[in-house]
């Protein structure tokens, strides 16, 4: 794949707030005083969305928000940045004036950090679930609640930089083309897309890990999801006329290799807990059988040195599009 493996030091210093650029013209604004009544349902004590047409399998409660926060910080440690190096070279984030969109922003951990890092740029997060900060937020950050499967509610060529990450369990294989078409539409000529996701096919020779993967794959198949979407991002980006500027690949250790491995093991365990209701249904397992299977899976990861692949791509829309 020709991916590089360099790592850089994470900058954690915050810059003081400056006068902000006005929000995108004609873009809808978010209500920040209270959460709107997004359709939701309670299953086995966890809160899940109930947005019609969406196949997203993970919860939208505080426990899931904590998992997503941890995922952000570990991903930042793994890649060494919030914004990939070639994006900084291509776009002048320090000068400011850039319009930045995070698609499927979740609890907005990346947005909150990056909008503070670049206070002269304007940031927008969009998601079907309004689990982002409702009141306290950087002045140059706004949110919009919308189902991106119905299109992005922005004019053509509205953004200089767009991010899309960790959405392989959110979109069917047949939905990726429309999603990337919409992202390309709202990117300005010369604009950049940062796309990060996983190949969720755990690499391990442990029999229990392989058995879990059979159940997980069966669940994804029933939903039309591709758990290996991350490994195919470069092909999908090229198919949509986006030129890859930078590619990165990292192997994510699960439970071994030090603090990163421990952290990603916690994330995986929490994710599986969120998937539990759907795994039970698709696998015809009861609670005790599912718990026993998952415990065996987690135990098998460390001695087998199990890992997943993380893929990060930076792609540019042609200047003369």
- 36-74 burial, b at 16+ Cβ within 10 Å, e below that, comes to eebeeeeeeebbbbebeebbbbbbbbeebbebbebbbeb
Among 238, 308, 231, smallest CA distance to 271 is for: 308
| Cα dihedral: 235, 236, 238, 240 (round 10) | 160
* Residue bearing tokens 């979407």: 229
CA-CA distances (angstroms) from residue 195 to 116, 149, 232, 248? 21, 17, 11, 10
Determine the 3-state secondary structure of 256 from DSSP: coil
* Residues constituting the chain: 321
CA separation for the pair 304, 298 (Å, rounded): 11
Q: How far is CA 112 from the centre of its chain?
A: 15
| Stated pTM of the model | 0.87
Q: Measure the CA–CA gap between 38 and 48, rounded to whole angstroms.
A: 10
Q: What is the enclosing helix (H) or strand (E) of 254?
A: none
What pLDDT does 17 receive? 35
* pLDDT of the chain, 321 residues: tens digit per residue: 433 333 332 233 333 333 333 444 434 333 333 344 678 899 999 999 888 888 899 999 999 999 999 999 999 999 999 999 999 999 999 998 999 999 999 999 999 999 999 999 999 999 998 999 988 889 999 999 999 999 999 999 999 999 999 999 999 999 999 999 999 999 999 999 999 999 999 999 999 999 999 999 999 999 999 999 999 999 999 999 999 999 999 999 999 999 999 999 999 999 999 999 999 999 998 999 999 999 999 999 999 999 999 999 999 999 987
Closest CA to 208 of 272, 283, 304: 304
Nearest to 138 by CA among 221, 18, 42, 250: 18
What is the SS3 assignment for 154-180? CCCCCEEEEEEECCCCCCEHHHHHHHH
Q: How far is CA 245 from CA 14, 150, 265, 310, in A?
A: 28, 29, 31, 17
CA distance 142 to 132: 10
Count the neighbouring beta carbons within 10 Å of the beta carbon of residue 176.
Answer: 19
E strand or H helix at 183, and its extent?
helix 176-186
Domains along the chain?
A: 43-316 (3.40.50.150)
Place of tokens 């994006």: 87
């Amino acid at each position: 794949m020709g991916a590089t493996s360099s790592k850089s030091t994470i900058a954690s210093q915050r810059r003081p707030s400056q006068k902000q650029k006005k929000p995108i013209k004609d873009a809808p604004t978010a209500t920040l005083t209270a959460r709107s009544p997004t359709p939701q349902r309670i299953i086995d004590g966890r809160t899940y969305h109930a947005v019609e047409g969406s196949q997203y399998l993970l919860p939208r409660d505080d426990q899931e928000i904590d998992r997503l926060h941890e995922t952000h910080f570990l991903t930042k440690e793994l890649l060494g940045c919030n914004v990939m190096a070639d994006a900084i070279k291509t776009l002048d984030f320090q000068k400011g004036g850039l319009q930045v969109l995070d698609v499927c922003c979740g609890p907005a951990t990346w947005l909150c950090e990056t909008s503070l890092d670049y206070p002269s740029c304007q940031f927008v997060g969009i998601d079907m679930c309004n689990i982002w900060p409702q009141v306290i937020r950087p002045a140059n950050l706004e949110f919009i609640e919308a189902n991106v499967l119905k299109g992005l509610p922005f004019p053509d060529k509205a953004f200089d930089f767009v991010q899309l990450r960790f959405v392989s369990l959110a979109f069917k294989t047949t939905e990726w083309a429309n999603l990337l078409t919409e992202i390309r539409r709202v990117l300005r000529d010369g604009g950049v897309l940062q796309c990060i996701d996983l190949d969720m096919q755990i690499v391990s020779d442990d029999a229990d890990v392989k058995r879990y993967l059979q159940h997980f794959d069966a669940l994804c198949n029933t939903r039309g999801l591709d758990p290996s979407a991350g490994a195919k991002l470069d092909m999908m980006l090229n198919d949509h006329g986006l030129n890859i500027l930078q590619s990165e690949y990292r192997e994510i250790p699960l439970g071994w290799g030090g603090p990163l491995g421990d952290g990603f093991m916690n994330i995986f365990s929490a994710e599986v807990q969120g998937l539990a209701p759907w795994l039970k249904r698709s696998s015809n397992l009861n609670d005790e059988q599912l718990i026993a299977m998952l415990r065996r899976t987690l135990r098998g990861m460390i001695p087998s040195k199990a890992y997943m692949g993380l893929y990060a791509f930076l792609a540019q829309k042609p200047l003369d599009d």
